[in-house]
Structure 1
């Protein structure tokens, strides 16, 4: 049974009747947006009562919109009339596009599309909302693979204003353009990406959690400190361990392993044994009541931050290696009223402040011929306006560590001490995010501007990866990665050619190759 037409349907829409198979959280959101855009929507679900539940849920959203003055009663009536229940697949016969939002199982998706090909017109489009499966693989089972495309939304669909449009290797340009126009009509930014593992957003997001886990595994800092640094110092909306707890390790670890193996063990995507062990223990996150944090009444129990120690002012010598960082630190010393050692070499009792990029405090101290027991490194990548981070060498005496801590906290800014690490916390995580983004651009998975906007919308980062690299400076990011790679010999840190060339030329990382 074909749904009736309504005069409110916009003639310029690329599609007019949308079939939706699977009415869970994702399917409901897609149906809501499609109806609001002017499409007739036929809902189908294998579970008895699921469609009625979905219609009730969506109607509830619209009803609250009327209550809050965002919609009119006429809008509500019009939208509701566009939602139709399909009894079985044959009821989707009049649809010009069908979107599947069923379980992430390749065989199930292939079987569904093969059955639909026997029902739909040959011009109808088959769209998959898959987040991790190959669109090309799904299409390979179809008689007309050229009409199969990825149309990947993010949960919650109405609030996450992005949809990835992923043509398979045989998808026609016309299908891609029409589906892209549909996404725009539904009010979303459409991110065109190639059919690669993780597509665009999940691909670009690999560095944030995996590098944070690596820092945790190396004993650089605990998970709470890492979260605080990346939120307060880096401007990320949520720390990586809070995010893992929110998503759930049953989901997050599986995605980490899947993308790692789909890229044939690419070191940049290497998962951590920490999440495998915690998954085995059932420490999934919020859903299990305990993950990296313990939850009471749905709220994380977070350890109190240690207060800065009291310390008598010492003479402070600031390494002149980075002139901008040295100037900022010297101003902080003067503002605190501590004596500033302006000599070329530090005095016998002076606290030595270092500002390495990608090096650990030990290497920087020895390279500059300084006494390691007086040295403390300060992360200057993001400046001194927000949370500050210091790290010590294994030889640093507690009195010098405490003096540096008290100095940096003198104006009330929070300070997080960490153990010696190549690149602190923020430097390492940011450099890895930028590097993965640069490699995505190098592989032409998406246009640079599309990549940045998709990551901002899909992951909530303060900037897209390439814009982030430009914000902190491409050459500084390259220095961090080069020093990380030199110290560890881990190919995880090898710089992308995209980054290396543009940093060497002083070009923005969004600069594309002339064609």
Structure 2
């Protein structure tokens, strides 16, 4: 429950930088303008400063134009716009920021530049002025390292576009006082944003945990298991992600995304879990940076044609299937098959805890991706991918073993088509597409929580709001089962023993606890 003081005010809001207090923004690029707009709309007088003469005035014009568009769309009253613009003041000199209660920096991502700026600001602003950096790749502790009073220094990592995206990571450096972090969180909340607290470790929350979403897609492409359009379609339509990683990196900018990946990798002393992609490096070197250059993984422009995902042609559905064992994460499938008018026979092991499968009329087995390649199976196996919701998903990926004939593959394709799904047949790589991506996201999130990067709730909130994931990865892991996640990663680690897929100790411990709880529950049911 939110604490209320004697005057009936929200205690958190009481500690925030007040609406009448001056907020200064240094650096007037896209992020700087966005942060300034947020503070301005929240009621603050805003000072804009840029080291390049004239840029602050140009930035003020840009903010004014965006507020005009909000008025045109009916999202802001003309009187509110006029009042806000009266509070917006370009500042030619740093000395004009002396009365600021909060200064947010959004300048070049260079440690020496940021340190020089804050060293100068420290001589200008008052001792109780909160100093904040919007860095996404540098250490907050390192930026504050040159200051006389680093306790008031925090990271305020907004996401682009700042006026629209709700998440702000509030980063505490090694010397940050908790009172300063609390004041920053309260201020961000008063601006209508959702703050999450995190430690000053490489990538913070989102840029650390999101790495596998891009990295696994790039790895699948490099292994020639599926083309970018198919990977994107499967992750959207089966995994429930709002955008696929290839189209998303085209939107972000391949140079920007690759730079963040490289920064996190280097900050973790080249840990193989964060290894950058050679394919993406070559794309950047070729100048194909995405939407901003008209070409990235996909072409853009008025005459560009987006490539289509690989989709299997129509195939007849089998008349019946046999379900063996417990399908666990895919437990909804037998019911969906029956609803489609296909007979379901319960075979041996129905209801048991060992991994189950669906037997097709020709004898091939449909098995949920488990981290092994379909080609490793001794029997005719077709792996199917994980889905966020098998009832609602519009696409499924299938990977047949080399021993699977065309007739058996058509039975599998026809079965899922009868459930209303498009089918993408891909190469038999371990973990397929969605399963390996989600397993890695869950493991990264568990590892981050175990290392006190952030709380479990803040991690899930950050991933849902910062990158629009359909589930927070920790909640997703609980839903699909951590023992299954461990099985997937163990299989991937065996296939690629570089350390990239080595499960974290946090995952191993949680999965063991999950197995123990399941055994206890079965024993109690049997007694």
Deviates more, 1:322-331 or 1:196-205: 322-331
Alignment equivalent of 1:104, drawn from 87, 106, 109: 109
Q: Does 1:193 align with 2:201?
A: no
Superposition map of 1:373-392 within 5 A: 375-380=381-386, 382=388, 384-385=390-391, 386=393, 387-392=395-400
Partner Cα distance (1:11, 1:79) in 2: 22
Give the corresponding residue for 1:445: 453
Q: Does 1:227 align with 2:221?
A: no
Give the corresponding residue for 2:246: 241
Shift of 1:402: 2.4
TM-superposition CA deviations, 1:159-183 (whole Å, max 9, x none): 0111111121111122111111111
Give the corresponding residue for 1:510: none
Shift of 1:415: 0.9
Superposition map of 1:36-47 within 5 A: 36-47=41-52
Deviates more, 1:319-328 or 1:274-283: 319-328
Give the corresponding residue for 2:520: none
Q: Does 1:292 align with 2:305?
A: no
Taking a change above 3 Å as real, the CA distance of residues 33 and 323 of structure 1, as seen in their structure-2 partners, is closer
Please report the RMSD computed on the Cα atoms of aligned residues, expressed in angstroms: 2.7
Partner Cα distance (1:88, 1:128) in 2: 19
Instruction: Classify the secondary structure of the residue corresponding to 2:154.
Output: strand
Superposition map of 1:33-112 within 5 A: 33-112=38-117
Q: Does 1:401 align with 2:409?
A: yes
Taking a change above 3 Å as real, the CA distance of residues 141 and 482 of structure 1, as seen in their structure-2 partners, is same
Taking a change above 3 Å as real, the CA distance of residues 57 and 354 of structure 1, as seen in their structure-2 partners, is same
Shift of 1:496: 2.1
Shift of 1:330: 8.1
Partner Cα distance (1:337, 1:165) in 2: 53
Deviates more, 1:340-349 or 1:244-253: 340-349
- Structure 1 contact 336–407 (Cα < 8 Å) conserved: no
Superposition map of 1:265-414 within 5 A: 265-297=270-302, 301-303=306-308, 305-310=310-315, 313=318, 316=321, 318-320=323-325, 322=327, 325=330, 328-329=333-334, 332=337, 335=340, 337=342, 349-363=362-376, 365-366=377-378, 370=379, 372=380, 375-380=381-386, 382=388, 384-385=390-391, 386=393, 387-414=395-422
Deviates more, 1:468-477 or 1:412-421: 468-477
Instruction: Classify the secondary structure of the residue corresponding to 2:156.
Output: strand
Give the corresponding residue for 2:519: none
- Structure 1 contact 317–353 (Cα < 8 Å) conserved: no
Partner Cα distance (1:310, 1:470) in 2: 36
Shift of 1:61: 2.8
Q: Does 1:126 align with 2:124?
A: no
Q: Does 1:137 align with 2:142?
A: yes
- Structure 1 contact 314–339 (Cα < 8 Å) conserved: no
Partner Cα distance (1:37, 1:423) in 2: 46
Shift of 1:342: 5.3
Superposition map of 1:12-31 within 5 A: 13-15=16-18, 16-31=21-36
Partner Cα distance (2:299, 2:337) in 1: 37
- Structure 1 contact 334–340 (Cα < 8 Å) conserved: no
Alignment equivalent of 1:478, drawn from 469, 477, 486: 486
Shift of 1:339: 9.1
Give the corresponding residue for 1:160: 165
Shift of 1:431: 0.2
Shift of 1:203: 1.0
Shift of 1:142: 1.6
Deviates more, 1:330-339 or 1:126-135: 330-339
Partner Cα distance (1:196, 1:310) in 2: 51
- Structure 2 contact 362–408 (Cα < 8 Å) conserved: no
Q: Does 1:151 align with 2:161?
A: no
Q: Does 1:462 align with 2:470?
A: yes
- Structure 1 contact 315–350 (Cα < 8 Å) conserved: no
Deviates more, 1:291-300 or 1:487-496: 291-300
Give the corresponding residue for 2:177: 172
Aligned residue pairs, count: 491
Taking a change above 3 Å as real, the CA distance of residues 338 and 85 of structure 1, as seen in their structure-2 partners, is same
- Structure 2 contact 360–408 (Cα < 8 Å) conserved: no
Partner Cα distance (1:171, 1:351) in 2: 60
Partner Cα distance (1:381, 1:304) in 2: 17
Q: Which runs of 5+ in 1 are unaligned?
A: 1-9, 508-515
Q: Does 1:416 align with 2:437?
A: no
Shift of 1:378: 2.3
Deviates more, 1:49-58 or 1:434-443: 49-58
Instruction: Classify the secondary structure of the residue corresponding to 1:301.
Output: coil
Partner Cα distance (2:219, 2:24) in 1: 44
Shift of 1:269: 1.2
Q: Which runs of 5+ in 2 are unaligned?
A: 1-12, 350-357, 516-527
